[in-house]
């Protein structure tokens, strides 16, 4: 797809090298149903299979390393057992004719010592403690004080992303999305509110964008850039009470332009405060899309009418839905028919087993 590209929400197309049956994507949704070793839930294959009519599934954020974990019961992609678990998922989605990419995640400072190996401090660009809470086996706790990554540790961190990307390939995914959003590690490097480094990874916009660009470059070497996307959230502060960057338009615009030069498949933007109003706040997402120059997936509190308009006008190549996909496995068909949507209770979002996960019926059996 080139930009701007006016299309129908239900028409097939391509995002990078990935053919999509329609322009409706499933946004990544952490459901906290993996085991403590990070092996995906035995119900995950069925869960994603049920949702395979989405043009593209962006599977839930998945830890690239043990140190990258910030929430109990989230899946990993750094060990053989993780690859085997995810291979079941990709097989099930492909059998249903769907496409699925994995979101590569390192939480940085949004973690707790109880989730880290030997109880060590989580790592971050700078030793600044996050607010908010993370889900631990001891309950919801404030993230622990992080330790600033040493310059010499950065190559090994990039290597962790590279291994995760390679594992995702082995697991049969169609591509990967690098998580640079929602206040996690790579966005902690990007924002001047969380990055106070004085080395080549801190200070100027170019320096703060360096790690995200190096990570994406490494991942693209494994996958080919046309199967790699990124997720950005220039206006989100919700997770970890993470303050905004002081010049979001310049910072994210620079990053988008540099990523665009790599020929990436998509930029997935959370327009506004994640789960808040769409595009509330002062940020020009059209300029972000233009700076990137490739396919653009729009997200955040979209409804049917907004999605139709976004794709028809060329604002977006795809629109992703998060919460609506929890209660509506056949969301695409419901949007097509203008059928009513089921609202999943928030209590079903995180944790548990099959209940609230694979028991939301499709339209025919409602």
322 part of the interface to ligand FMN, by CB under 6 A: yes
Applying CB under 6 A, which of residues 13, 28, 183, 229 lies at the interface with ligand FMN?
A: 28
Applying CB under 6 A, which of residues 7, 24, 56, 60 lies at the interface with ligand FMN?
A: 60
In the bound state with ligand FMN, the residue whose beta carbon lies nearer, of 54 and 209, is 54
Reference 160, options 127, 185, 141, 133; nearest CA is 185
64-103: which residues touch ligand FMN (CB under 6 A)? 103
230 part of the interface to ligand FMN, by CB under 6 A: no
Cα angle for residues 125, 127, 133 (degrees, 5° grid)? 95
- CA dist 178 and 159 (Å) reads 14
CB of 54 to ligand FMN, least distance (A): 12
x-marked contacts with ligand FMN along 287-316 as a string, rule CB under 6 A? ------------xxxx--------------
334 part of the interface to ligand FMN, by CB under 6 A: no
273 part of the interface to ligand FMN, by CB under 6 A: no
CB neighbour class for 313 (10 Å; exposed up to 12, middle 13-18, buried from 19): exposed
Select which of 184, 254, 296, 357 is catalytic.
184
Kindly compute the dihedral angle of the four CA atoms of residues 25, 322, 88, 228, in this order, to the nearest 10 degrees.
50
Applying CB under 6 A, which of residues 182, 195, 242, 328 lies at the interface with ligand FMN?
A: 182
Query: How do strand 266-270 and strand 100-105 relate by DSSP bridges?
Result: unpaired
Query: How do strand 147-148 and strand 123-124 relate by DSSP bridges?
Result: parallel
- Is 297 within 8 Å of 266 (Cβ atoms)? yes
CB of 324 to ligand FMN, least distance (A): 6
**Residue, CB closest to ligand FMN:** 322
- Is 317 within 8 Å of 266 (Cβ atoms)? yes
CB of 299 to ligand FMN, least distance (A): 5
27 part of the interface to ligand FMN, by CB under 6 A: yes
- CA dist 7 and 186 (Å) reads 32
181 part of the interface to ligand FMN, by CB under 6 A: yes
- CA dist 305 and 96 (Å) reads 27
Residues in the site for ligand FMN, rule: CB under 6 A? 27-30, 60-61, 103, 179, 181-182, 231, 270, 274-275, 299-302, 321-324, 349
Q: Active-site residue numbers?
A: 184
């Amino acid at each position: 797809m080139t930009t701007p590209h006016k299309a129908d929400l239900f028409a097939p197309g391509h995002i990078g090298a990935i053919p999509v049956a329609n322009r409706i994507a499933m946004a990544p949704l952490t459901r906290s149903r993996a085991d403590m070793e990070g092996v995906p839930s035995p119900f995950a294959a069925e869960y994603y299979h049920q949702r395979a009519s989405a043009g593209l599934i962006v599977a839930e954020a998945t830890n690239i390393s043990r140190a990258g974990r910030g929430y109990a019961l989230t899946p990993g992609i750094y060990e053989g057992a993780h690859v085997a678990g995810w291979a079941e998922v990709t097989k099930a989605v492909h059998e249903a004719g769907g496409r699925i990419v994995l979101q590569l995640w390192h939480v940085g400072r949004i973690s707790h010592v109880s989730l880290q190996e030997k109880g060590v401090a989580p790592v971050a660009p700078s030793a600044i403690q996050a607010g908010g809470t993370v889900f631990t086996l001891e309950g919801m706790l404030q993230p622990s004080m992080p330790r600033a990554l040493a310059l010499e540790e950065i190559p090994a961190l990039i290597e962790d992303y590279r291994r995760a990307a390679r594992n995702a390939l082995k697991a049969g995914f169609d591509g990967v999305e690098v998580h640079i959003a929602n206040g996690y590690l790579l966005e902690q490097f990007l924002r001047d509110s969380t990055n106070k480094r004085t080395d080549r990874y801190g200070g100027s916009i170019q320096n703060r964008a360096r790690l995200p660009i190096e990570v994406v470059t490494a991942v693209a070497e494994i996958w080919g850039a046309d199967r790699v996307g990124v997720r950005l959230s220039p206006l989100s502060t919700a997770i970890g009470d993470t303050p905004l960057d002081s010049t979001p338009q310049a910072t994210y615009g620079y990053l988008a332009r540099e990523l665009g030069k790599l020929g990436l498949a998509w930029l997935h933007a959370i327009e506004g405060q994640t789960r808040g109003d769409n595009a509330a706040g002062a940020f020009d997402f059209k300029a972000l899309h233009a700076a990137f120059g490739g396919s653009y997936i729009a997200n955040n509190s979209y409804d049917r009418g907004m999605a139709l308009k976004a794709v028809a006008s060329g604002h977006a190549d795809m629109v992703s839905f998060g919460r609506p996909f929890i209660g509506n496995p056949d969301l695409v068909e419901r949007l097509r028919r203008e059928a009513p949507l089921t609202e999943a209770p928030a209590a079903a979002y995180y944790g548990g087993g099959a209940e609230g996960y694979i028991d939301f019926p499709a339209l025919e059996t409602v």
